[in-house]
Amino acid sequence: MEKFHNLPIEKQSTIIDAALDAFGRNGYKKTSVSDIANAAGISKAMVFHYFGTKKDLYFYLLNFSSNMIMDEINDKFDSSVTDFFERIIMATMLKMAVIKKHPATLSYLSSVFYETNEEVKDGIISLMSQGDSFRNKIALEGIDYSKFKDSVDVKLVMKMLTSISESYVNPYKSIQQEDLDVMIKDLFEIMDLLKNNLYKEQYL
């Protein structure tokens, strides 16, 4: 990837955005390198020159997207916050601030979640498991479990919020700024509802 990384940042972003959008809209199998090249304003040969294969490009994007989000959260996340819902809100806002730089990241990651193509499936499972571990660490380590009612399974609440977040994103739709704003607003309203029903009364 050295030749790609030697490009000006603006050119790198153009290529990355074109590829994120193409894979996000069409999935792995139906995405053609020609479509990515045309959208990025470069030749098909240059895509192969920079990345090697379509599969290599696909996993470059997955690593790029994941690392971009995790680096931002690691850098700015305040682990002294012990309230579960405040942590989720903080992590969500950090994630969305990064995604706004490359809005197609959201539809791309959603398409990855639903991808079934055998050529990339095993690699996706391996990388996604790392993401699950990171998400659970951020959400669950060091939180104040005593705020929850005794019968509440906090890990199940986390899975529920993850599923809700994923359900908001159509993997075959281009994500716009207004889509992100609506998703964040709705997600926070859902968290308020859950908090009001799952926390002990003295913590509301």
- 89-147 pLDDT, tens digit per residue, is 998 889 888 888 888 898 898 899 889 999 999 999 988 887 777 888 888 899 999 99
Other C-beta atoms lying within 10 Å of the C-beta of residue 57: 24
Over 70: is that where the pLDDT of 174 sits? no
pLDDT on residue 161: 86
In which element (H, E) is residue 129 found? helix 118-140
DSSP count for the chain of H helices, then E strands = 10, 0
Helices within 31-83 (DSSP H only) = 33-40, 44-51, 54-76
- 41-53 pLDDT, tens digit per residue, is 999 999 999 999 9
Please tell me the distance from the alpha carbon of residue 127 to that of residue 21, in angstroms, as a whole number.
20
Please tell me the distance from the alpha carbon of residue 163 to that of residue 45, in angstroms, as a whole number.
39
Domain ranges across the chain: 55-203
pLDDT on residue 127: 84
As given in the structure block, the two tokens for residue 103 are 């809005």
Return the CATH architecture of domain 55-203: Orthogonal Bundle (1.10)
Q: Region 153-171: what's the mean pLDDT?
A: 78
pLDDT on residue 171: 53
Q: pTM of the entire structure?
A: 0.84
Cα 82-86-90 angle, rounded to 5 deg = 110
Q: Helix or strand or coil: residue 170? A: coil
- 10-27 pLDDT, tens digit per residue, is 999 999 999 999 999 999
Contact present, 100 and 106 (Cβ < 8 Å): no
**What's the mean pLDDT when you consider all of the chain?**
90
